[in-house]
Amino acid sequence: MTMDETDFSTQHSSIYIAPLRIEKTSKPKRSLSNASRKSRPRSQPHSRSQSASTYSHTSSHQQITPPPTPNTSQDSLAQGPGKEPAPPFQPFLRAFYEFHPNFSADSSTVTLPLNLGDVILVHSVHTNGWADGTMLSSGARGWLPTNYCDEFDPEQIRPLLKACAVLFDKFRGGSAGGLRASQVAVTSVVAGVRHLLETTECLTREASNVKSNDGIRRTRKVLLTELSALVKTAKRLPGHSEYSSAKPTTEDVTDEMILRCFKIVVRGVRFLDIWNQRHNLQNNFSLEEAGAAQGEDADDHVPPTPPADSTTHSMAGANSVRGDQTPEGNTEGHDTRSRSSSLQPAYALARLNVTHDVLLSYLGSYIGRLYHEARFTPQLQLTQQESVRAARELLAIVEAVEARDPKAAALVFAKEAMDARISALISAAKEVVSGCGKLEEVDEEGIMIPDSGKKLVDAATGCVRGAGECVAKSKFVIEKIGDFELHLGPFDIGLGITTPEGKLIDDAIGLSASAKAELERQLMPPPPTPEKIPPRPPPKEDPLDEKPLPTLPVSELEVERPTADTTMAESNPAFSTIVPGSPSASLPRRSSSASVIAPLPQLTPLLAQYDNVSETAQKRDVDSKTLLQKSIRADSIGASSITTADYTISSSVRGSELSMTSTRATTPEPVSSTSISTPLLSLDLTLVGSQISLESGSGSEILVPGKQVFEDLTFNRDGQITGGTLPALVERLTVHDSTPDAVFVATFYLTFRLFTTPKEFAQSLVDRFDSVGDSTTGAAPVRLRVYNVFKGWLESHWRKNVDDEGLETITSFAEGKLKAILPAAGKRLEELAEKVSSTDGPLVPRLVSGIGKATTATTQYTLPETPIQPPVVTRNQLSLLRSALTGGPNPTVLDFDPSELARQLTLKESKMFCSILPEELLAQEWTKKRGSLAINVLSMSSLSTDLANLVAETILDATDPKRRAILIKHWIKVADRCLELNNYDSLMAIMCTLNTSTIGRLKRTWELVSYKTKLVLDHLRAVIDVSKNHAVLRARLRGHVPPCLPFLGTYLTDLTFIDVGNPSKRPVSEGSTKQLINFDKHVKTARIISELQRFQIPYRIAEVPEMQEWIDAQIDRVHNSKTADVQHLYRRSLLLEPRETQPRPAPVEPSTPAAVAPKESQKIDLFSWAHAFKVPTSAT
Amino acid sequence: MQHRREYHIVILGAGGVGKSCLTSQFVHNEWIEYYDPTIEDVYRKVIDVDGRSCILEILDTAGTEQFTAMREIYMKAGQGFLLVYSITSLSTLTELSDLRDQILRIKEADSVPLVIVGNKSDLEEDRAVRRDRAIMLSQKWGRVPFYETSARKRQNVDEVFLDLCRQMMRADVGGSGSGGGASGGSSEKVYQTPRKRRFCVIL
């Protein structure tokens, strides 16, 4: 464990400059379930607890209850050695109860009615316990309550189930692998059936089992019949060509195959049931018993409603009475919680609230632990991870909201601030750990947290505050734009983002093996006592004896249960963390719950007052003293509620309880006071009270000493740095008492070379290191931060050649001063310095770099459920292409489908666009005449130009007006397809040509273009309209979900204007002569760059290499052609359709005499001028 | 309220001649804190020309000079043109001819409201283009107004736009048929302006 992991800057940079990782979650609905399905680690459950962990992978960030249960903990520690990756498995559920919804939750949601014994293929499970699944017997897809079902995975049929899932994935998941893949899928289904028959000893008809039992014989026969039907169907799969033009047929066949496969599973299950019955094994689904559960009064057991309807949540929760909570509640809670992979559409507001509550509960627990344990225990670390996960999810939601209304600047700021705070929390934790010094000797006691523990508290409180603000701003936006369905996948945020970080923290904290074991032991829930669990009387033969139900989505219910059930908390200590915070947290915002918690109206004014405090505290750094005073006043009033809290909280977790509540108190309540229901207020006050006790308990260290004054800095109204001297900026980069602002850090790394030199920057850092001396209290963190800034620079932001001049300073600093004080850091920095001088490119791949992004993005952004469409290329076309490449006749664009041309063009441009590096966009690098580093920007602009010229050339190549008209129509189609693909860059290029006078003047040609085509053209013209600063185009891009290829030109213009329109220096204040670096300019630059990076997501388009090559050849030809410039093209246009003799004189045109015969005199005049003009030119 | 006429001005010229500087100086009279080039009406400005108020929308393609194919689309949108070169680079002046040809072609006219702008007049020590070179060009083009400006020092910036605006207004009133007339009318000024308003020329 070295200090290497204490790198906050790298993360920061990615956060701001490339905010993609978070934004990725906003994507169309269809992709979601599949995305997670495909990406989530699957395990083959051998036991219940293991199967639970299957889910927890995906959803741990979504968990509602700290502390994490063993499954999660294993999970989060799973990166460690010794844990094999579990084989993938697709979860199946089996209905244990009838479910016939007699309430219509929402007309937009489809609820699957369940019959006893139904088998369901689950695509995803929502936090509230509803699952998105496909009923195997009918093939119908919809929502179903998981608490009515149990995991279905008997050993005998497991391979079959797995095969079924694979097959479904294959055909529905878009992993089109051609004929071979489908053959494999079918083969595995056959193998699955075989396995089933083998293990049940029914493989042959002569087997005694088959012979002796009629039921087995019959069901076996049906099963085999179905199997042969599947195999037959599979044979119809057209597979001789990869580029099958008979696509519809293929889809029909695959649909049928899926249905057949489902049937096989259904038959197999029936067979197994009969077999089990025969062998007196568990059999709960024989038809005779099906009616067992039907006598129940359905109303008593209304399961939670589908997630789309938030008002019924709490109602459902209230109904599912689980009064006698036993410790198993924990297990269950976990079980369901981990199930909740939360892929489902939910309304943004609801999701926002729930996630916010989850986050608060974690953070609360986290802070509480900090106070009461004063050491960095593994549990604490886990809580931190959960907090970070929850926070990331919250951010993802906020991001989604923002995508709807990108103009909400306040939201963006809040989001960025939140982002920064999360990073602050992480880095604070790492710092605590690394600052500890003897990391190798961490034992079960955890790391003793020095005074710096308060830093963690600060950071966590900051997160709470940030979250509150984010939520408030998001709600404001949602109110404005209206609620919308939100589709977020946990993988994207959970695993995609937090796992690396989580791992980092893991490493940073360096849990020893024993600590882990201890952790697992502590978190292991008591053995379940399932008898008490079932939400309704089980069927006669209780299946729960052996397999406890993956019960109701307990955690969800608890969170949303309107009645704060204190007994539950009491009886379930491990679970109780959730009790005071979560119910109250989530409920007040649900309309149905307002009445549940007794309101304490008399406290309202106080809270309002408190709100003021926290709000001001937000703007600047917290003046803790004021806060303390205010909260003391709150204390007396809140005392009564404190007792309530005490009552509910078991002693073991009281700390976290209190802290949770206290955090809540510090949150500026996001909702306007009118919209807050009273229960929340009362709770908040409770928490204010407890905050006091906590603060007094842990001493005055919470009161941060006065902030350093940054004399040479200027801020704008949002608290963002707008200017400063280099030392002041460097100081800001290495503040002692808080983590530097992420936006600031990222911007600094990206742009510092524009206002200083690498050498100067290095020296400033060294000076900063020296300046803190020994006496200052903040010296240690500052030194560490200086080191971290160096490290972030070298690791992720080093620019070979440009930065090398600073290397000497860095090396001598590392060897000398740094090593003397922080030997490990010094050594590490030395190593890094050595590495950067010997390696090209960044040591740690930057997330901002196109390549790194492309890889992470592919999995997250694309829409796996939409299969990659097979290219529309006939074999004939392919052979045309091939022969052209080997010297045969060159095909024309008319030989190819416009859609395919558009796709291949898009693919080509997208590759270039995705590899644009941020440094290409700085300081108008791309306009440099020679030696420009902006290779990708330039190749993109050159491609656009060449494409435009290619369009003109193909049209002008045709001598027949009719053919020209056909070509024009063809290109309009290509442009239209480009628009469909959101490829605005190619659209722009093609449209430019169609709008040129060269093409536009061909009257005879245009007369032959149909009205319909002209309408399309008009539509496209409107899109690329340049007026009002490209208003149409900008509006389209604003809320755009990638993949998308924006027109690069607007970014380049914006960057140019920012560069030119903002001075590089600014006065300290109006009229002051002292000039500061205009940092604001760089912040703006970074913002535009990050906006561009938002779209650096590759397309999911199948490449046709032959066509790519052909297009390349065409582009190259045009590029190198001397006649493909505007002048020559125009001349050709004149030749094709000579100017009609009109009174109007022809424009001055240096073209062939034949073409411009009428105006010869003028032309000659021009030439003479040009001549006269050029002679002195060469003379000078 | 008086109906305001709206005019579109397109700024053209080689990369690095300071087009964007000229534009941003004209649009914003001073450096402003929140200069955001991405918003819709950042390049729109209401100006008073001889007692008549009109809206100018400025189309500046700065930064996208390499997208030569896009040029026409901008030109099409414009009614008046600022052809900008830098007095520190002769090639930027010669490039203007192609631009004008293209404009005339697109507009199918032999004259359009247009001003030649020699920018960076504050960099006298780096001057590479003598003034008479530009005046010569102006004559060739039918006495097109010519100014030397310093966007950085904000010299002659407003004048350039005002002149162009007057030309556009005249063309507006005169109608499309008398394209030559508009140009001719302004020719009186042509020779005056550079002399009258030379700020940085040291002869």
- Kindly indicate the confidence band of residue B29, based on its pLDDT and cuts at 50, 70 and 90: low
Asked whether A449 and A435 are in contact (CB, 8 A), the reply is no
Q: In whole angstroms, what is the distance from residue B157 CA to residue B139 CA?
A: 22
Pair of tokens at residue A1025: 């309209």
Which value, to the nearest 10 degrees, does the dihedral of the CA atoms of residues A581, A582, A583, A585 take?
80
* Lookup result for tokens 């860059």: A985
> CB–CB of A264/A119 below 8 Å?
no
Distance CA(A1083)–CA(A1089), nearest Å, equals: 10
Q: Which residues of A touch B10 (CB under 8 A)?
A: none
Distance CA A364, CA A383 (A): 9
Cα separations in angstroms, A1032 against A422, A1050, B15, B155: 36, 12, 26, 34
Can you tell me whether residue A722 is helix, strand or coil? strand
Instruction: Say whether A983 sits in a helix, a strand or coil.
Output: strand
Task: Looking at the complex, report in whole angstroms how far the Cα of residue B168 sits from the nearest Cα belonging to chain A.
Answer: 18
Q: Please indicate whether residue A692 or residue B52 has the higher confidence score (pLDDT).
A: B52
List, run by run, the mean pLDDT of 10-residue segments along chain A (1180 residues): 41 35 37 40 41 38 35 36 40 77 54 80 72 80 77 81 79 58 78 83 77 82 84 68 49 78 86 80 44 39 41 36 37 36 56 78 74 62 78 79 71 77 77 51 42 70 78 75 61 34 36 44 42 40 38 37 38 36 35 35 38 40 38 35 32 34 35 33 33 33 36 76 87 80 86 91 90 71 88 86 88 89 89 83 50 34 57 86 85 91 94 91 86 90 92 92 95 95 94 91 93 94 88 86 89 90 80 84 90 88 91 92 84 88 48 39 39 37
Q: Residue A1068 carries which side chain, given as an amino acid letter? A: V
Q: B203 and chain A: CB distance < 8 Å anywhere? A: no
Q: B110 and A1147 in contact by Cβ < 8 A?
A: yes
Residues of A in contact with B14 (CB under 8 A): none
Tell me what pLDDT residue A134 has: 82
Residue A558 to residue A320: CA distance in whole angstroms: 10
| pLDDT computed for residue A35 by the predictor | 39
Residues of A in contact with B90 (CB under 8 A): 1177, 1180
> Can you give the pLDDT at residue A438?
39
For A546-569, give the secondary structure using H, E and C.
CCCCCCCCHHHHHHHCCCCCHHHH
Write out chain B residues lying below 8 Å of A1024, CB-based.
73
Place of tokens 């929402």: A106
CA A626 to chain CA centroid, Å, is 38
Give the CB-side neighbour count of residue A540, counting CA atoms within 13 A.
Answer: 11
Residue A708's pLDDT is what?
43
pLDDT at B32 over 60: no
Cα angle, residue A267 at apex, residues A265 and A270 outer, rounded to 5°: 110
| Parallel, antiparallel or unpaired: strands A92-95 and A119-125 | antiparallel
The count of residues in chain B is 203
Write b or e for each residue in B158-182: b if 16 or more Cβ atoms lie within 10 A of its Cβ, otherwise e: ebbbbbbbbbbbbbeeeeeeebeeb
Q: DSSP 3-state assignment of A130?
A: strand
Q: Are B62 and A1057 in contact (CB < 8 Å)?
A: yes
Which residue, A347, A274, A262, is CA-closest to A313? A347
Cβ contact (<8 Å) for B40 and A1145?
Answer: no
CA distances from A158 to A197, A268, B75 (A): 12, 11, 68
Using 50, 70 and 90 to split pLDDT, how confident is the model at B163? very high
ipTM of the complex: 0.87
**Domain B5-196 falls in which CATH fold?**
Rossmann fold (3.40.50)
Structure tokens at A236: 């119809």
B178 touches chain A (CB under 8 A): no
B31 touches chain A (CB under 8 A): yes
Partner-chain contact A1084 B64, CB within 8 Å: no
In whole angstroms, how far apart are CA A381 and each of A384, A438, B158?
5, 17, 63
Question: A927–B15: do the CB atoms touch at under 8 Å?
Answer: yes
pLDDT at position B156, please? 92
**What are the sequence ranges of the domains in chain B?**
5-196
Asked if residue A446 lies in contact with residue A339, where contact means CB atoms within 8 angstroms, the answer is no
How far is residue A226 CA from its own chain's centroid?
A: 41
- Structure-token match 């029936």, residue found: A270
Question: Cα angle at A1081 between A1075 and A1082, to 5 degrees?
Answer: 110
CA atoms lying within 13 Å on the CB side of residue A723: 18
The residues in B 82-121 lying below 8 A from A, measured between CB atoms, are: 90, 94, 97-98, 101-102, 104-106, 108-110
Task: Pick the more confident residue, A58 or B154.
Answer: B154
Which pLDDT belongs to residue A849?
35
pLDDT of res. B175 = 54
How far is A266 from A120, CA to CA, in rounded Å? 10
Preceding amide of A668 cis, omega within 30: no
Q: What is the pLDDT of residue A488?
A: 55
Q: Which amino acid is at B74?
A: Y
Taking the CA of residue B191 and the nearest CA in chain A, the distance in Å comes to 19
Domains of chain A: 154-296 (1.20.120.330), 713-850 (1.20.870.10), 894-1046+1101-1137 (1.10.840.10), 1142-1179 (no CATH)
Residues A855/A862, Cβ–Cβ less than 8 Å: no
Say what the pLDDT of residue A711 is: 61
Four-residue CA torsion sign, A979, A985, A987, A991: positive
CB contacts, 8 Å: B131 with chain A:
none
- Token pair, residue A826, equals 């010094």
Q: By CA distance, what is A1028's nearest residue in B?
A: B40
| Residue B142 touches partner A, C-beta closer than 8 Å | no
Of A668, A21, A747, A32, nearest in space to A399 by CA: A21
Test B66 with A1180 for CB contact under 8 angstroms: no
Q: Does residue A414 contact residue A37 with C-beta atoms inside 8 Å?
A: no
Q: Is the pLDDT of residue B199 over 50?
A: no
Q: Would you state the pLDDT for residue A841?
A: 61
